[in-house]
Amino acid sequence: MESDELITLFDFSDAPPPPTGGDGDLHSTGVRRRMCTKGCDRPMNVCLCGSIPTEAISTATEVVVVHHPHEQRHKLATVPVLSKCLRNCQTLVGRRLRRGDSSLLDSLYDAAVENPNQPPRAIYLFPGTDSSPSIEISKWQSSWSDNYTSTHVLIAFDGTWKHAKEMVRASSPFLSKFAIRVCLDYDVMVDGGTTFDSDLILRKEPFSGYMSTMEAVARALRVLEPNGVEIEGRLVEVLRAMVKFQACYLKPMKPRPKLLKNVKAEEKKNQRTVERTVGIFMSYARYLLAWQQIVHW
């Protein structure tokens, strides 16, 4: 799925507190906010019940999300909403995957140990590296044979990008036995966007193509499911509604004095470099001119 900021990407601490009274969550100002009890479990002023499907979406693909403990307290976590949208979505809170965390994953592990030649039907989403390459998910899907099974298990890691890297690394000894590392299209040569750039981005992403956990799962299901386009569209609409709420509370970005000072210092440094280069060039030109005059004389 990005800066060390990860895959995921609700509550919005910047939202103005609603009137006091009634059951609710304690706001950072000490005012108790009224919470929605109709399904989304979010503050009333950012309720998503109108966007979340009334019936959870059924998928042949079983989705397992490894949710970093810190993300449980994060205001912009997408996993709680994702789990309400998908029927076959299991959330595991922890910093790594290991035997005993999930009966589903344990069964895949046991099957792989008993029959190591069986092509794995489990995949986990994470960009590849030189030491741990990944295959683009559509390429993996096209190489999959229907002779084995028509269902898949999709594993996603939810946390900041730094945490997600640590989670994947710690889970590798277990995952490598039965799952293939896959990725979505991304470009490390292009900076990632922000909420100002897209109606699907909640947090700054490190590179172009990196995205929240919810969007990544939606894009993956588009490839894995027979009606993937429809499923992706429904999930993306929920995410778009979340981002729209967040955009309402964005503050205008003001240049930070320290950054301005650094920029000005860098500009002066570059200017001195240019002046030195020009001076050297001019000195060399005068030298050549003088040499030519001596030769002609």
3-state secondary structure of 4: coil
Report the distance separating Cα 133 and Cα 181, nearest Å: 8
Q: Using an 8 Å Cβ cutoff, are 213 and 156 in contact?
A: yes
Query: In degrees rounded to 5, what are phi and psi of residue 139?
Result: -70, -40
- Its pTM stands at 0.67
Q: Are strands 207-208 and 179-183 parallel, antiparallel or unpaired?
A: unpaired
Averages of pLDDT over each 10 residues, the chain, 297 residues: 39 41 48 71 78 90 93 79 92 94 94 88 87 87 64 91 91 94 64 42 51 89 92 90 72 52 71 82 78 71
